[in-house]
């Protein structure tokens, strides 16, 4: 390790921060921030800091931490070293420590935007959205074009369901920088969520006008489901797909979009070729292990037996009014949420990440325990800790609420594997299994490009095995928790909506309301790929679409075995 910055550099940095402090007192926050950024840049150019940064970028976190701490031993007021340690803590999931370090950096350099942005991101990971957004607003007040701060703000507003604020923030940003295609893409997605179809289409088209290589704008149009691509659109996408380098992530979005374009033309052979190409590329980027998932499900089945639930009686929050909608993605969970959120006593809060975060939190809080493994760690958690985790979920979910309706919905489909934890935290929670016929459901996943996660969905064989594991686990729960889960079969809902809706509301213990049948009249925001579909009455448009692709789906049929539909 080379020695820390010499006295001359340290004196220069101290002088720069002194000038910044004077400017801030004089009311010139912009100039103060610029000088403080220059001071940190001067710190970051020193060899010891460059070495620590290279270690961080390479993922050599212990070495990077040791290097940064050595810098602080010689220079206790070093902002860049603190930020390196804060980033390491964030990567390790130690968000409280990360927050402390970034706060110290801000105390030393109040106008340093990167520290405020990093602190905001660390706060978001502990669901402290108010302070985090305020920090980003501080940065944007000085520099409205700060892309990192603006992107973090816009993304977070969408995640917490503050769509009206998100829409206005996009409009304010576009008033300042209407030449930015990424902003138009984001604006198009928010308009889609709010049901502003024409504005959404116009925004994606504007992004393409500014940057014809913006593949995500083509996918934005395709993901609206209702857009009909014409021959010029198909040619533009084909030309762009051929021109993009092999490693360009936009190729995935283009192939998914072309799959949709040729599907609309009923050219199913070309459509499947493009869907297959998109999935092949995306699958090569992921480390999904189908056998590991099967093993995880087997472990959960063995752990969450009748004896476990008997031992946990009397713990958790029995009064929480939460409806968890679980199952496969693209199985109709957004439709079920839209139906229920049309009830006067239920608020839909979309897909919340907190159950899966609690699984990580339970293990992280006991990292020194050699048996700290999920779900086994749940067996030894005392009632007080279970109550604390339940309170954490409720506190976090509350930040997504827009009303005071007594019931809320969490519709993260993948929570099916966490039902044991859900029942531990909330023994009175209602659980709805949104089930769709295997071939139709799996193919719907195959043709969908997900923003994140769902690693199983980019291979027909992986998807078939995942569906089997899901059914296997749900069958197990039916045996050990009889009556706890209400299964709502998508095809039955389509055939007789009122009958199925009445049965669903009876399971929830709520009175029937006609608004649930007229769910398509509900103007609430919808974030998922099904946003446009649930704004129309129930229909059978996509029920048998998979059959047009049947000649190419044998790997899926083989993996599903007896669950495959004829």
Report the C-alpha gap between 31 and 157 in whole angstroms. Answer: 29
Say whether 139 sits in a helix, a strand or coil.
helix
Residue 497, burial from CB neighbour count under 10 angstroms (0-12, 13-18, 19+): middle
Kindly state whether residue 172 falls inside one of the protein's structural domains: no
**Residue 116 maps to which CATH number?**
1.25.40.10
Q: Which pLDDT does position 504 carry in this prediction?
A: 98
Report the C-alpha gap between 222 and 225 in whole angstroms. Answer: 6
Question: Total domain count for the chain?
Answer: 2
Token pair listed for 276: 């297959």
**Residue 456 maps to which CATH number?**
3.40.50.300
Q: What one-character DSSP code corresponds to residue 484?
A: S
Kindly state whether residue 557 falls inside one of the protein's structural domains: yes
Backbone φ and ψ of 356, nearest 5° = -65, -35
Backbone φ and ψ of 488, nearest 5° = -115, 110
Displacement of CA 56 from its chain's centroid (Å): 25
Kindly state whether residue 330 falls inside one of the protein's structural domains: yes
Whole-angstrom CA distances from 129 to 38, 93, 300, 390 are 29, 17, 33, 19
Kindly state whether residue 432 falls inside one of the protein's structural domains: yes
- Which among 92, 111, 126 is the end of a domain? 126
Report the C-alpha gap between 501 and 474 in whole angstroms. Answer: 21
Length of the chain: 566
Kindly state whether residue 247 falls inside one of the protein's structural domains: no
- Which among 126, 146, 161 is the end of a domain? 126
Kindly state whether residue 11 falls inside one of the protein's structural domains: yes
- In sequence order, the β-bridge partners of residue 322 are 408
**Splitting the chain (566 residues) into consecutive groups of 10 residues, what average pLDDT does each group show?**
51 81 86 84 87 92 93 90 94 91 92 93 90 95 93 91 91 95 95 90 97 94 90 95 88 95 95 96 92 96 96 94 96 92 92 89 70 84 94 90 92 95 96 96 94 88 97 97 96 94 97 93 63 61 86 97 84
Kindly state whether residue 78 falls inside one of the protein's structural domains: yes
Report the C-alpha gap between 306 and 74 in whole angstroms. Answer: 58
Q: Which pLDDT does position 5 carry in this prediction?
A: 47
Q: Which helix (H) or strand (E) holds 485?
A: strand 485-489
* DSSP per-residue codes, 429-453: -EEEEEE--HHHHHHHHHT---SS-
Per the CB < 8 A criterion, the answer to whether 412 and 355 are in contact is yes
Kindly state whether residue 201 falls inside one of the protein's structural domains: no
Token pair listed for 383: 């009632």
Q: Which pLDDT does position 4 carry in this prediction?
A: 46
Domain that holds residue 93: 1-126
- Which among 101, 126, 151 is the end of a domain? 126
Report the C-alpha gap between 328 and 526 in whole angstroms. Answer: 18
The residue ranges of DSSP E strands in 61-217, in sequence order, are none
Q: Residue 2: CA atoms inside 13 Å, Cβ hemisphere, count? A: 10
Report the C-alpha gap between 483 and 449 in whole angstroms. Answer: 34
Q: Which pLDDT does position 530 carry in this prediction?
A: 52
Q: Which pLDDT does position 369 carry in this prediction?
A: 64
Q: What is the CA radius of gyration of the chain?
A: 26
């Amino acid at each position: 390790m080379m020695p820390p910055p010499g006295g001359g550099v340290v004196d220069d940095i101290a002088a720069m921060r002194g000038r910044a402090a004077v400017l801030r007192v004089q009311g010139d926050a912009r100039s103060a921030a610029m000088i403080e950024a220059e001071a940190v840049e001067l710190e970051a150019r020193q060899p010891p800091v460059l070495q620590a940064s290279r270690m961080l970028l390479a993922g050599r976190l212990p070495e990077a931490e040791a290097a940064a701490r050595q810098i602080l031993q010689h220079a206790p007021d070093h902002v860049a070293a603190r930020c390196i340690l804060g980033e390491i803590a964030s990567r390790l999931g130690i968000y409280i420590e990360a927050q402390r370090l970034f706060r110290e950096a801000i105390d030393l350099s109040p106008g340093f935007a990167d520290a405020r942005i990093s602190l905001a991101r660390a706060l978001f990971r502990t669901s402290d959205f108010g302070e985090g957004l305020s920090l980003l607003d501080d940065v944007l007040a000085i520099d409205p074009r700060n892309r990192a701060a603006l992107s973090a703000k816009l993304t977070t507003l969408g995640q917490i369901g503050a769509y009206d604020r998100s829409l206005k923030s996009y409009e304010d940003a576009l008033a300042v920088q209407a030449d930015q295609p990424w902003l138009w893409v984001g604006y198009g997605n928010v308009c889609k969520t709010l049901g502003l179809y024409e504005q959404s289409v116009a925004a994606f088209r504007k992004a393409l006008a500014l940057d014809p290589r913006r593949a995500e704008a083509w996918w934005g149009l395709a993901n609206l489901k209702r857009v009909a691509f014409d021959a010029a659109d198909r040619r533009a996408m084909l030309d762009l797909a051929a021109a993009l380098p092999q490693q360009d992530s936009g190729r995935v979005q283009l192939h998914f979009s072309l799959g949709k374009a040729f599907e609309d033309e009923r050219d199913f052979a070309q459509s499947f070729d493009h869907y297959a190409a998109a999935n092949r590329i995306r699958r090569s980027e992921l480390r999904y292990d189908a056998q590991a998932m099967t093993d995880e499900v087997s472990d959960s089945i063995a752990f969450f037996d009748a004896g476990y639930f008997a031992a946990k009686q009397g713990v958790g929050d029995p009064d929480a009014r939460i409806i968890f909608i679980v199952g496969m993605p693209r199985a109709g969970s957004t439709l079920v949420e839209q139906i229920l959120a049309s009830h006067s006593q239920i608020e839909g809060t979309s897909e919340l990440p907190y159950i899966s975060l609690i699984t990580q939190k339970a293990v992280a809080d006991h990292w020194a325990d050699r048996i700290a493994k999920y779900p086994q760690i749940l067996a030894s958690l005392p009632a007080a800790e279970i109550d604390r985790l339940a309170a954490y979920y409720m506190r976090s979910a509350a930040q997504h609420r827009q009303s005071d309706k007594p019931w809320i919905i969490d519709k993260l489909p993948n929570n099916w594997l966490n039902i044991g934890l859900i029942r531990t935290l909330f023994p009175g929670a209602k659980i709805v299994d949104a089930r769709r016929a295997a071939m139709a459901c799996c193919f719907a996943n195959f043709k969908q490009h997900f923003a994140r996660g769902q690693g199983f969905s980019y291979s027909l064989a992986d998807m078939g095995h995942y569906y089997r594991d899901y059914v296997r686990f749900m069958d197990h729960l039916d045996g050990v928790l009889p009556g706890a889960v209400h299964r709502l079969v998508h095809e039955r809902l389509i055939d007789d909506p009122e009958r199925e809706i009445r049965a669903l509301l009876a399971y929830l213990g709520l009175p029937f309301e006609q608004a649930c049948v007229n769910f398509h009249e509900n103007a609430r925001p919808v974030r998922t790929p099904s946003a446009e579909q649930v704004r129309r009455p129930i229909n059978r448009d996509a029920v048998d679409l998979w059959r047009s692709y049947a000649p190419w789906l044998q790997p899926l049929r083989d993996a599903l075995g007896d669950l495959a539909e004829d």
